[in-house]
Amino acid sequence: MRHLLIILIAEAIVMAGYGQAKENQIYNSLTPEEEYVILRKGTERPFSGKYCNFKERGTYICKRCNTPLYRSNDKFDSGCGWPSFDDEIPGAVKRVIDADGRRTEILCAKCGAHLGHVFKGEGFTPKNTRHCVNSISLDFLAENDRPATETAVFAAGCFWGVEYHFQKAPGVISTSVGYTGGIKPNPTYQDVCAGETGHAEAIEVVFDPAKTSFENLARLFFEIHDPTQVDRQGPDIGEQYRSAIFYKNEEQKKTAERLIEMLKQKGLRVATKIEPDAPFWRAEDYHQKYYEKKRQKPYCHIYQKRF
C-alpha cells in the first residue's frame, strides 16, 4: 500500500508539472468573446461569424496558437450557419466526446482550443463528414501568405508502426493514418480488413519543404519496412499491408522510381508499388498516434539503413 501511495504521489507531481508547463506556453491574447467560445466551449450565433460565407482560398488556423487546421479546398456550404469543412489537415484536430454525451467535440490538437463539433452521415459531400466550426475560433491565411507545406502518402504495412517513425522525422508537421488506393468510399477498419476494398493502410505526411524533402521521407519509408515483401509486412498478411508510394506529382513519382532502382542495384527485389494519388480516408481516432498513446514501440517496423 505504501508503495502504491508513493507512485500515486509521483504521478500527481508529474501531472502538476505538465499542467504548469502548458499554462506557461505563450498563446495569442483573446477577447472576452473569444474566450467564451475557445476556452469555455461556447457557441457563436449562427450566420454571425466572419467565415460563414467566406470564399477566399487559403488556410484556416487556430485563433489561439496559429496552428493550421483546415484548407479552403475542404470548405463547403452546408447552410447550417457556421463554417463547414469535410476534412482537416492531418493530425491538427482532436476529437472528444462532448459533455452532453451525444456529440463529438473538436479541439485544436496543439492547444486544446474549442472549435465546434463534427458530424457524420449527413451526405453533404462524398466524405460524409461535417466539421461545424465557430468562426471566432479561427484566423485565415490567404493562399499567398499561408505556410509552404507539401504532402506525401506511404503504405508500408500496419500504419501504427509507420506513423511511429514518421512523426519523429525532422521537418514533419503532422501525420494521419488512413486508407487509400481502393474502391470503397469512406471505408471502416473492418471493411479494409475484409480484403474487399482494395485499400492499403497508409499514412499521410504533411511536411515543411524548407526543412526536409520528399526524397528524405521516401528514404525513411524504405528503411522502416521490408520493401521486398508482397502484400504483407511481417506477420500482417493481406493486400491492405502492401508496400506502396502514392505520388502527388511527377517529381515524387520520379524520385520514388530512382530510389527503387538504387535499391535494386544493391540486390533488393523491391516489391513496392508506385501508385497515383487517390482519395485518402482518415482512419478511426483510436488508430491515430497509436504507439504514442500506448507508450510502446512497433514490433514489425524496425529501422534498417539501406542507403
Does one domain contain both 169 and 136? no
Among 85, 116, 142, identify where a domain stops: 142
Residue 24: other Cβ atoms inside 10 A: 7
Mean per-residue pLDDT, 56-66? 92
* Residue 27 domain-assigned (yes or no): no
Between the CA of residue 179 and those of 48, 155, 188, 203, 217, what are the distances in Å?
37, 9, 9, 8, 19
The per-residue pLDDT for 6 is 37
* Nearest one of 212, 277, 290, 281 to 249, comparing CA atoms: 277
158 is catalytic: yes
* Residue 4 within any structural domain of the chain: no
For position 13, what pLDDT does the model report?
A: 36
How does strand 243-247 pair with strand 273-276?
parallel
Q: Are residues 236 and 155 in the same domain?
A: yes
Q: Are residues 179 and 273 in the same domain?
A: yes
Percent of the chain exceeding pLDDT 70 equals: 90
SS3 call for 61: strand
Based on the fold, state whether residues 131 and 202 are members of the same structural domain: no
Please state the pTM of the whole predicted model.
Answer: 0.60
* Residues 75, 172 share a domain: no
**Domain termination residue (choose one: 142, 176, 204):** 142
pLDDT tens digit string along 91-101?
A: 889 999 998 89
Helix or strand holding residue 93 (H, E): strand 93-97
pLDDT at 23: 39
Angle between helices 214-223 and 250-265 (to 10 degrees): 40
Q: Are residues 126 and 241 in the same domain?
A: no
Question: What pLDDT does 84 receive?
Answer: 97
Domain identity same for 171 and 65:
no
Which residue range forms the structural domain that includes residue 52? 32-142
Task: Please tell me which residue, 66 or 118, carries the higher pLDDT value.
Answer: 118
Q: What is the pLDDT of residue 22?
A: 39
Mean pLDDT confidence for 55-72: 92
The answer to which of 16-20, 79-83, 134-138 has the lowest mean pLDDT is 16-20
In a domain, 12, yes or no: no
**What's the mean pLDDT in 94-113?**
93
Query: Does 15 reside within a domain?
Result: no
In a domain, 73, yes or no: yes
**Do the bridges between strand 104-108 and strand 114-120 make them parallel or antiparallel, or are there none, so unpaired?**
antiparallel
| Residues 241 and 266 reside in one and the same domain | yes
Whether residue 218 lies inside any domain: the answer is yes
Which of these is catalytic: 62, 108, 132, 300? 132
Domain membership flag for residue 305: no
Residues 6+ away with beta carbon under 8 Å from 5: none
Q: 124 with 227, same domain?
A: no
pLDDT of residue 253 exceeding 70, the answer is yes
Q: What confidence score (pLDDT) does residue 205 get?
A: 95
Place of cell 500496419: 158
Residue 18 has pLDDT above 60, yes or no: no
Secondary structure of 179-219 in HEC code, one letter for each residue: EECCCCCCCCHHHHHCCCCCCEEEEEEEECCCCCCHHHHHH
State residue 19's pLDDT score.
38
In the prediction, which pLDDT does 17 show?
A: 38
Residue of 52, 62, 108, 158 with catalytic role: 158
When divided into structural domains, the chain yields a total of 2
pLDDT in tens, 130-158: 999 999 999 998 877 555 688 999 999 99
Residues 117, 229: one domain? no
Residue where one domain finishes, among candidates 119, 142, 165: 142
CATH code for position 106:
2.170.150.20
Q: pLDDT tens digits for 156-208?
A: 999 999 999 999 999 998 899 999 999 999 999 999 999 999 999 999 999 98
User: How confident is the model at residue 36, as a pLDDT?
Assistant: 97
DSSP designation for 99: T
Residue 208 inside a domain? The answer is yes
Q: Are 173 and 266 in a shared domain?
A: yes
Give the Cα separation of 86 and 185 in Å (integer): 14
CATH number for the domain spanning 194: value is 3.30.1060.10
Mean pLDDT, the chain, rounded, equals 89
In this prediction, residue 169 carries a pLDDT of 94
Check whether residue 99 and residue 186 sit in a common domain. no
